[in-house]
Structure 1
Amino acid sequence: MEFVVLPDHQASREVKKLVPRSDKARVINHPSGQPWIVGHWSDTDIVSADAGETRMVLFGPVSTSAAELLRRLERVRTVGEVDSLARSLHGCFHLIASVSGLVRAQGSISSACQLFYGSVAGVTVAADRPQTLATMTGAGVDEELLALQLLAPFGPPWPLSARSVWRGVRALAPGRHLEIQPSGVGRTRTHWTPPEPDVPLASGMFALREALEGAVAARVREGRTISADLSGGKDSTSLCFLAARHDVSLVTLHVSSSDRANEDRLWAERSAAQLPGVNHVVVPMSDTPGFFAESGLAAAQDLEAPLTMTRRPLTEYIARFAASRGATWHLQGVGADELFRPSLMSLHALIRSRPLAALPHVRAMKSMRRWSAVTTVRSLARVETYRQWLSASADHLTAERVLGTGAGWEVASRVPQWTTPEAVDAIRRQLRRSASEAPDPLSTLPVHHEMLRLIQANGTIVRAGSRTVERFGVSFQAPFLDDRVLTAAMSILLADRHKADQVKPVLAAAMRGIAPDSVLDRQSKGDFSPDLYAGLRRHRGHLLELFEDSHLARLGLIDADGPRTALRGMHTDAGMLMPFDTTLANELWLRSLPSHASLTSVGTEPVLAEGAS
């Protein structure tokens, strides 16, 4: 699925011709007859309704039918009235409305459904892919923003994260939508802000349960097959039990770690035994391509931006599995950690709102992380304003990363140690320039700002993963990233998000009576670190070859000897491979750019020649 949104303006007929593959595209018109939405999609991707001068299109899983949408749309007279309709829907979707010539377009808070916009032929145009707009305008890549993509682990901080690497293209911020006047002038407006965490868990868990039930229900089709991860943890298990309540054929997949100490397989099999009629499949990691496989590294990359896809070969394996079972949607538990596992920033906020309630959790964290009293106080000290934090982050780009210490508005960004001084300077300029503009954070509460940034990182992963496998006819779906789920989770009192004997107490409370108590009370969770190392060893030779003639090095962004040295080294902590993963993503992305692109080094104009796409 891909689409472009045009204004109700006479220029749209000419702009439509600039849309890639426009001669074979599907077109939905404004009530005036001007082209409105141009692109490629299947009938299962879309729910639409036409009520005279008001039209609406929803792309993606959503809890409404065309008939129901029409009944509700008949009462809409202004684009502002779209708010209540949108908030009432479950699912994760793009919403596009045309009301008396005024266009409203938005994606999801998580960015799993993201929307980009820019100016084409003098009018504002939106699209679900930034490279589409770049192709229409002949824009190239912003080289300073390309340097920012090297930042690990999640790329540039807000608001630089909302800027596309393609010149002249912007991404909608969380909770904002785009309005395009009939004149072609566009502006963004806010329709959602983070809720205050003022709802007790005793009542909030019911709203969260309803949101999760609705999120899964929006993705099931009665009598059809749906596939899902079943890792053995709370997240995927909860989704599987919610899906099993519907009249669907449920196929669950567990990719088993090669680590014999990993108990996830046992927990997954216990859960599968309690799922009615489930077809549970266990696949040893050794039977999959694993991590860093050459098949994934050699594949064409999504041109949106450099996106870390170390798991891409495994991602494609899962998609093939889902397709072989007749499923078009595959459920994943992505996003639950960020919503339900209390972070250091959550504890930081709790200390300031209810210090006595926070003390037991401070002691527990001090013990768990083996902190001294001084380290504990320093780690939970007052956080500066967002402007101060953003400015200070420019000074710490090359500092050593110490995992698990220090509270900040976002996970601290660091450049890989092989980044060139010129690239580091380019990144610092961008950060300081952004800080000088005093940007507002995504939330006045640091813990919610952090949560939104992490949720957006997850949304990007899901979006990129789905595009990677769309040729198999499969879409990855992450119900925890839905707007209504996110809002319900963020509304819970900070004090109720912490519980000494629960890893994710809010999710456990919401799913009690639906998922097995034994899983909801589970305190441990395995990971794939041994398999990550195994993939690195197995494919080290090919990875080394990639950096023999590095595009990043040609641009003056890295010293190619750095990642090659890292590949040959020993790593006691898999987290330290994050900088390499980010660098690899950038290298592969550059190699996927069109062959006629003119690449130049840092400090020259531009990385891509005008006219390249």
Structure 2
Amino acid sequence: MPVGGFSTIKPGLPLPEGARAIASSSTWQLGQLPVRSAQGLGRRIFVVGPCGASDDEVQELAAHPVLPAVTWRWPGTYAVVEEGVSGTVVHTDPAGALPLYTVSWEGTWAWCTSARFLGALGDSRLDAERLACAVLAPALPVLSAGRTFFTNVHQLPPGSRTELPNDGRPYQCLTTWWPEPLEGALPHLRLRRALTFAVRLRASIDPRLSSDLSGGFDSTTVAILAARATNDPLRAVTIHPEGILDGADLSYARITADNYKGQIEHHLLPLTVEHRPYTHLTEVPVTDEPAPSTLTHVRLREQLHWMHETLGTRTHLTGDGGDSILFQPPAHLADLVRHHRYRRAGAEALGWARLRHTPVGPLLRDAAAMARTPRVRALEDLVVTLATGTSERQNAGNVGWFPSLPVPSWATPVSRRHLVRAAKRAAAEPDPLSGLDASVRVLVDEIREVARTAVADAELAAGCGIELHNPFLDPLVVDSVLRTPLHGRPPLYAYKPNLVKAFSDVLPVEIRERTTKGSFEADHYSGLRAALPELLDQAGLHLAALGLIDLPRFRNQLRRAAVGMPMPLATIEQALTADAWMHSISHAPAPQWILPTPETVIR
């Protein structure tokens, strides 16, 4: 639930219905998101979100100028807000794992952890351009950087210090996080330290927490760390299809539980055909933006309700985000070429080509081209590609600043124009992280997209009475990984070697030797077939009303996908996700803002 405030402390400021105002402050709190404060000379400090700082360290923040690294100094997912006479200063975390938003309101600025609440305050509409980018270009977060799904509501840049003046003048942002490579410290030891601290923080807040245990590297590592951080056995949960008890993922989960008998209490949750993807999309609860788990919300909410009611879970850990921070993107080859590591570039390209069953030549050709191409030039080329629908040369090796964009046939001219405008704006904006290695810069965009959207899944969990945490997306963890020098980064084709090395003494040998993970693709196709009648009746109506999709063509594509015709499901699933979210927004009551009363003030 959200926390927010204003850039002025004048009386009579509104707050959301049900929220509690903090005395002598414009800040308010709705729900259980932790907020700690400290009073200094002429200013007040708020630490918003779970943070590993001690109470004394929070008090110290008010006694001295806030340092640029404050939001990744301690484990946790938090922001630091300075409230003063001349305005409010907001320090955001570098991963964007606790996104903060702002909107102009009656000559001042309102800030909040929820864009939807600010949208209600500012009488915002749904942003058609942002929706077009979400549906047609989900792998290009650069097109919508800083933009939310509500007009006039903006996300404050992650890893920055933003001054919100009390008189509503334009705010100023200063980038405070720039992941310069850190020499000397071994990458796997930095990862181990950061991830261990991130899990321990959650265990200290709620020793009776639970964790996913899917059998993969990421959830297994988190579960083991949580088990080692608590006195009572950790409740670890593995979901599986009903009647199938010998799957590979389940086998690996059992191996881990057997290795930690007495420390891990293993629970199996069978799921039936009632929990297939695409089921009951008109029943998705309202969230700040389309949730990654929208299409599987029935499965997720069944798991969460079951854990809450059966296990008494209040806090749950996942391994989400691990793939984003632990795998190298193909742009890594371009870094090797640019730094004249030709022998290593050739060896890694060959290993990647073998793994992907693709020719090695295009990989090296595109790596060399990317090494010569600045990011801004790639954005300018993207504008041309979107405007004309063609590119000079297809990136067959998939090594580039941005992935190729096969715009679906059901995209309308209106939605294509939205993409072009977004790309032009992105190309015109200066890059606050220019100068980073290409692979690091690509990962920053990906991680921030994953971290921000994960908040919507956490909202779904909160509706089931559970706080959802993703330790891999902790800013301390993200910072530790992205500061790895080129020579310490894992090979492109390797399966999370730094994680294995970091936790080789705690991961069972069978897990350490694993090189693949389970897939749910077949589950998605069967779910699509089962839900097709409902989808053909309701899916796409909201997007079509904004002129973003050609509804007959879109539904024809749904039919083709349901019968198993080969086609990528990514844009179809993004469209269904966005449309389901729009349905929830249109049917849920908007947040109401009211004037505070003495009963709503926290003394």
Q: Same fold (TM over 0.5)?
A: yes
8 A Cα contact 1:28 1:38, kept in partner: yes
CA distance in 2, matches of 1:261, 1:466: 30
Which residue in the other structure is 2:248 paired with? 263
1:97-136 C-alpha deviation (Å, 9 max, x unpaired): 3356652223432222100112111112211112222221
Unpaired runs of 5+ residues, structure 2, are 590-603
8 A Cα contact 1:391 1:432, kept in partner: yes
8 A Cα contact 1:152 1:582, kept in partner: no
Which residue in the other structure is 2:466 paired with? 474
Quick check: 1:207 aligned with 2:190?
Answer: yes
* SS of residue matched to 2:397: coil
Shift in CA distance, 330/412, structure 1 to aligned 2, threshold 3 Å: farther
Shift in CA distance, 342/424, structure 1 to aligned 2, threshold 3 Å: same
1:265 aligned partner, one-letter code: L
Q: Bigger shift: 516-525 or 572-581?
A: 572-581
Shift in CA distance, 595/280, structure 1 to aligned 2, threshold 3 Å: closer
- Percent of residue pairs bearing the same amino acid type: 23
Measure how far apart 1:498 and its partner are.
Answer: 2.6
8 A Cα contact 2:188 2:501, kept in partner: yes
8 A Cα contact 1:393 1:413, kept in partner: no
CA distance in 1, matches of 2:439, 2:268: 37
Partner of residue 390 from structure 1, selected from 379, 395, 410:
379
* SS of residue matched to 2:26: strand
* SS of residue matched to 1:158: helix
8 A Cα contact 2:80 2:92, kept in partner: yes
Measure how far apart 1:584 and its partner are.
Answer: 0.8
Measure how far apart 1:417 and its partner are.
Answer: 2.3
1:401-432 C-alpha deviation (Å, 9 max, x unpaired): 99983222234444332111232123213312
Which residue in the other structure is 1:3 paired with? 3
Partner of residue 177 from structure 2, selected from 181, 193, 212:
193
Which residue in the other structure is 1:36 paired with? 26
1:182-238 C-alpha deviation (Å, 9 max, x unpaired): 4454634335333233536x7232222111111011111377311111111111111
Which residue in the other structure is 1:611 paired with? none
Which residue in the other structure is 1:20 paired with? 16
Superposition pairs for residues 335-354 of structure 1, below 5 Å?
Answer: 335-353=321-339, 354=341
Which residue in the other structure is 1:290 paired with? 276
**RMSD value over aligned CA atoms?**
3.0
Partner of residue 103 from structure 2, selected from 98, 114, 118:
118
Shift in CA distance, 435/52, structure 1 to aligned 2, threshold 3 Å: closer
Q: Bigger shift: 571-580 or 357-366?
A: 571-580
CA distance in 2, matches of 1:500, 1:307: 26
1:476-528 C-alpha deviation (Å, 9 max, x unpaired): 11111111111111122333323599411111122222322431232121121
Which residue in the other structure is 2:600 paired with? none
1:273-300 C-alpha deviation (Å, 9 max, x unpaired): 1223322112234276131111x43234
8 A Cα contact 1:502 1:521, kept in partner: no
Which residue in the other structure is 1:579 paired with? 571
Measure how far apart 1:74 and its partner are.
Answer: 5.2
Partner of residue 105 from structure 1, selected from 59, 71, 90:
90
Which residue in the other structure is 1:326 paired with? 312
Partner of residue 407 from structure 2, selected from 415, 418, 442:
415
Superposition pairs for residues 85-484 of structure 1, below 5 Å?
Answer: 85-98=70-83, 102-154=87-139, 156-158=140-142, 160-185=144-169, 187-199=171-183, 203-221=186-204, 224-249=207-232, 250-256=234-240, 262-275=247-260, 276-286=262-272, 289-294=275-280, 296-304=281-289, 309-324=294-309, 325-353=311-339, 354-383=341-370, 384-397=373-386, 405-437=397-429, 439=431, 444-484=436-476
* SS of residue matched to 2:186: helix
CA distance in 2, matches of 1:241, 1:214: 13
Q: Bigger shift: 385-394 or 464-473?
A: 385-394
CA distance in 2, matches of 1:380, 1:260: 44
2:484 aligned partner, one-letter code: I
2:319 aligned partner, one-letter code: G
Q: Bigger shift: 259-268 or 469-478?
A: 259-268
* SS of residue matched to 2:515: coil
8 A Cα contact 1:63 1:218, kept in partner: yes
Which residue in the other structure is 2:34 paired with? 45
CA distance in 2, matches of 1:501, 1:421: 39
* SS of residue matched to 1:217: helix
1:232-260 C-alpha deviation (Å, 9 max, x unpaired): 11111111111111225411111125889
Shift in CA distance, 395/423, structure 1 to aligned 2, threshold 3 Å: same
1:347-406 C-alpha deviation (Å, 9 max, x unpaired): 221232222223221111122223335423333232222222222223444569999832
Which residue in the other structure is 1:505 paired with? 497
The alignment's TM-score, normalised by the length of structure 2, stands at 0.87
* SS of residue matched to 1:4: strand
CA distance in 1, matches of 2:206, 2:158: 35
Quick check: 1:61 aligned with 2:44?
Answer: no
Quick check: 1:73 aligned with 2:61?
Answer: yes
* SS of residue matched to 2:381: helix
Shift in CA distance, 531/284, structure 1 to aligned 2, threshold 3 Å: farther
1:551-601 C-alpha deviation (Å, 9 max, x unpaired): 22232211112232222224769981111111112222332344799xxxx
* SS of residue matched to 1:375: helix
8 A Cα contact 1:307 1:586, kept in partner: no
1:145-204 C-alpha deviation (Å, 9 max, x unpaired): 3332322433x532523212322221122211322344454634335333233536x723
CA distance in 2, matches of 1:137, 1:440: 28
Shift in CA distance, 469/151, structure 1 to aligned 2, threshold 3 Å: same
Shift in CA distance, 543/595, structure 1 to aligned 2, threshold 3 Å: closer
Which residue in the other structure is 1:556 paired with? 547
Which residue in the other structure is 1:602 paired with? none
CA distance in 1, matches of 2:352, 2:266: 37
Shift in CA distance, 322/52, structure 1 to aligned 2, threshold 3 Å: farther
